[in-house]
């Protein structure tokens, strides 16, 4: 009789211990050990539909699979840093406008280009620096879009972490705005001035605790809407861009390691680009994109 009681007691005790350990509040912080390399696999699938003056509606589909390595670098006190480097991106694309398939994107231009990030432990980026030059695309006009913030937004693999202690079932709302003046990330950029205003609202939820490849993790999900307004001058033209984007996703964060180990996010956006000057046009665009990021121990 005792052996059955004892055997039943062991898993019950383990369950109580696990429940007690995850009931406590935890704080999430990124930690990158200088000189240590962290490997990830990143997959981005996107579908873009746009209406161009004189050409009607065009569509563009792309899937990008990229091996990514992050190497911890020295950072100022109370900051963390890493060097981003992606190997050759495997890109599949198709378009109703054949010439669009050959148009270079940030996905391919940052292959083998080292990019240094300094950020707070929560993941708020304080500085971004290209350590290598971007290759020439042969299409100077496209460099108008290559600001430091545009490249940082593309390559930055992580979301900002919560500014509060977490426990299962916790949910909270966000409502924040920011104004920045992006700078050219390359000497080939042709814009003169640029301003970007963002407004973000939505909700985060702590779904629970689980393990991922032997690491204790918290699962966090979000449903966020971001409105962005940008102004830019380039080649005697002025561009005004309005974007509304909805982000729905979840991540597993290994809180003892300070690492995001898995993330899935769906992004839906509508954009209106108004151009005045030598050319005048209004270009509406809609985008559906899914991103997965997985840590490789």
Confidence band for 178, pLDDT divided at 50, 70 and 90? confident
pLDDT at 95: 73
Confidence band for 187, pLDDT divided at 50, 70 and 90? low
Going by C-alpha positions, the residue among 124, 149, 139 that lies closest to residue 230 is: 149
pLDDT at 107: 65
Separation of first and last alpha carbons in the chain: 44
Q: Give the Cα separation of 202 and 222 in Å (integer).
A: 8
CA-angle at 22, arms to 258 and 218, nearest 5°? 40
Q: Per-residue pLDDT averaged across 14-39, rounded?
A: 75
Q: Per-residue pLDDT averaged across 100-110, rounded?
A: 59
Q: Is the pLDDT of residue 13 over 50?
A: no
Are 207 and 250 in contact, with CB atoms under 8 Å apart?
Answer: yes
Across 246-274, b (16+ Cβ under 10 Å) vs e yields ebebebbbbbeebbbbbbbbebebebebe
Where do the DSSP E strands lie in the chain?
37-52, 56-73, 80-86, 90-95, 115-119, 125-130, 171-180, 191-212, 215-234, 237-254, 259-277, 281-296
Average pLDDT of the residues of the chain: 81
Q: Is the pLDDT of residue 175 over 80?
A: yes
DSSP 8-state symbol, 190: -
pLDDT at 12: 46
Going by C-alpha positions, the residue among 253, 246, 44 that lies closest to residue 154 is: 44
Going by C-alpha positions, the residue among 274, 224, 280 that lies closest to residue 249 is: 224
Q: Per-residue pLDDT averaged across 30-48, rounded?
A: 94
Are 89 and 111 in contact, with CB atoms under 8 Å apart?
Answer: yes
pLDDT at 282: 87
194-218 pLDDT tens trace:
777 889 999 999 999 999 999 999 9
Q: Identify which of 71-75, 136-140, 181-185, 186-190 has the greatest average pLDDT.
A: 71-75
pLDDT at 204: 95
259-277/281-296 β-pairing: antiparallel
pLDDT at 257: 96
261-280 pLDDT tens trace:
999 999 999 998 888 887 78
pLDDT at 16: 43
Are 190 and 216 in contact, with CB atoms under 8 Å apart?
Answer: no
212-236 pLDDT tens trace:
999 999 999 999 999 988 887 766 7
Q: Give the Cα separation of 145 and 155 in Å (integer).
A: 15
Per the structure block, which two tokens stand in for 29?
A: 């912080």
Using the Cα atoms of residue 133, residue 137, residue 138 and residue 143 in order, give the sign of their dihedral.
negative
Per the structure block, which two tokens stand in for 19?
A: 């429940």
């Amino acid at each position: 009789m005792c052996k059955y009681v004892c055997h039943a007691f062991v898993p019950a005790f383990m369950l109580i211990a696990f429940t007690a350990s995850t009931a406590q509040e935890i704080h999430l912080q990124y930690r990158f050990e200088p000189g240590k390399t962290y490997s990830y696999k990143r997959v981005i699938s996107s579908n873009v539909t746009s209406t161009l003056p004189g050409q009607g509606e065009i569509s563009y589909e792309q899937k990008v699979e990229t091996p990514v390595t992050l190497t911890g670098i020295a950072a100022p006190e109370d900051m963390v840093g890493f060097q981003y480097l992606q190997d050759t991106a495997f890109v599949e694309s198709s378009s109703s406008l054949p010439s669009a398939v050959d148009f270079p994107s940030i996905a391919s231009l940052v292959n083998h280009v080292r990019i240094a990030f300094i950020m707070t432990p929560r993941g708020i980026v304080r500085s971004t620096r290209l350590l290598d030059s971007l290759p020439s695309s042969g299409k100077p006009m496209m460099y108008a879009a290559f600001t430091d913030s545009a490249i940082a937004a593309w390559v930055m693999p992580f979301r900002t972490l919560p500014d509060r202690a977490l426990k299962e079932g916790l949910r909270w709302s966000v409502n924040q705005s920011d104004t920045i003046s992006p700078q050219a990330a390359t000497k080939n950029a042709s814009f003169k001035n640029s301003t970007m205003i963002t407004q973000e609202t939505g909700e985060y939820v702590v779904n629970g605790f689980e393990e991922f490849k032997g690491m204790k993790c918290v699962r966090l999900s979000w449903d966020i809407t971001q409105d962005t307004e940008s102004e830019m001058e380039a080649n005697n033209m002025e561009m005004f861009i309005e974007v509304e984007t909805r982000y729905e996703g979840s991540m597993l964060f290994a809180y003892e390691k300070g690492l995001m180990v898995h993330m899935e996010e769906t992004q839906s956006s509508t954009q209106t680009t108004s151009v005045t000057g030598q050319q005048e046009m209004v270009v509406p665009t809609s985008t559906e994109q899914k991103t997965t990021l997985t840590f490789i121990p």
